[in-house]
Amino acid sequence: MPIEVENLSYTYMPESTQSVAALQGINLRIADGEFVGIMGRTGSGKSTLIQLLAGLLTPTRGRVLLDGRDIAAKDYDRSILRRTVGIVFQYPEYQLFETTVAKDVAFGLKHSGLNHVEVTSRVRKALEIMGFDYDKIHNQSPLALSGGEKRRVAIAGVLAVQPKILIFDEPVAGLDPQGRYSFMQLTARLHQGGTTIIMVSHNTDVLSEYTERLVVLEHGQIALEGLTKDVFMQLPTHDHLPVAMSTAQEIAYMLAARGMNLPQGIITYDDLLFALKAKLGGGEEAP
């Protein structure tokens, strides 16, 4: 189910003198199975955009189309949206409120029409995907878990719905390196399984390694958009944009400044490794 955004604008408190035009005239199409990153400085409109994509905010102007249908239309069946689009907010661990982990993970399935056995099987699977032993964890209080465990439970709650489109707002902020790595490996597996992933992040390394396409927002508009590699390549010529280069890209620039010129287009650690091996000899061919 592709998501299309047509001339989308959103203004907070439109009637007030303090109204904020958070998004202005956004056009975007996200095809089935894509992995799209959204970056941009704080306040550029990223969270507003994804809340509009998930139907949690209603556009001030323009439309969001899911599979060609306007999700804000009066006759639109919003249960399709709930089943298709899953959204994980930043710090989802603060949204746990049920008495047991299993109840929390099952929450999004309440009106799904699935019977008890099917719900339990979905909950078990989602918790196992997130690295838990279902039998050990399902009866525990979510409040007794660590921050990182709570976040994994909260994400399991979204996965249990098995949405075709998954939206994450800053999912790796505050995770330790191991937690970040396992979360990104999981996301990559979901993506390989055909799930569309839309990820807001300030972490340029994560975006450069995993996404296929990037959208850079600036003052509520799309400042730059394209294949991930192309967007990173263009960043140095857009120095008004507050978006950083990836670490591998920065290292390549630093080496060039010290006289070691590597080929253009180094964005990921693998790119850097292959270039260095080729330069220093004994290297493998780039893939």
Ligand X SMILES: Nc1ncnc2c1ncn2[C@@H]1O[C@H](COP(=O)(O)OP(=O)(O)OP(=O)(O)O)[C@@H](O)[C@H]1O
To Mg ion, the closest distance from the beta carbon of 19 in angstroms equals 19
Bridge partners of 227, per DSSP, are 213
Q: Is 33 helix (H, G, I), strand (E, B) or coil?
A: coil
Residue 22 binding ligand X, by CB under 6 A: yes
Kindly list the distances between the CA atom of residue 79 and the CA atoms of 110, 268, 282, in Å, as whole numbers in the listed order: 12, 39, 57
Q: How many residues are present in the chain?
A: 287
The answer to whether residues 100 and 135 touch, using CB atoms and an 8 Å cutoff, is no
Q: Is 238 in contact with 59 (CB distance < 8 Å)? A: no
Element housing 11 (H / E): strand 3-12
Is residue 48 at the binding interface for ligand X, with CB under 6 A as the rule?
yes
HSE (side-chain half, CA atoms, 13 Å) at 37: 31
Choose the contact partner of 12 out of ligand X, Mg ion, none; CB within 5 to 8 A by kind: ligand X
Minimum Å gap between C-beta 173 and ligand X is: 10
User: Which one of ligand X, Mg ion, none is in contact with 204 (Cβ closer than 5 to 8 A by kind)?
Assistant: none
- The whole-angstrom separation of Cα 83 and Cα 64 is 16
- Contact call for residue 46 and ligand X (CB under 6 A): yes
Residue with the shortest CB distance to Mg ion: 47
Least distance from C-beta 47 to ligand X, angstroms?
A: 3
Binding segment for ligand X among 38-46, 98-106, 151-159, 208-216 (CB under 6 A)?
38-46
Which residue from 44, 187, 228, 268 is in contact with ligand X, where contact means CB under 6 A?
44
Q: Smaller CB distance to ligand X: residue 11 or 187?
A: 11
Least spacing, CB of residue 130 vs ligand X, in Å: 24
Q: Which residues bind ligand X (CB under 6 A)?
A: 12-13, 20, 22, 40, 42-48
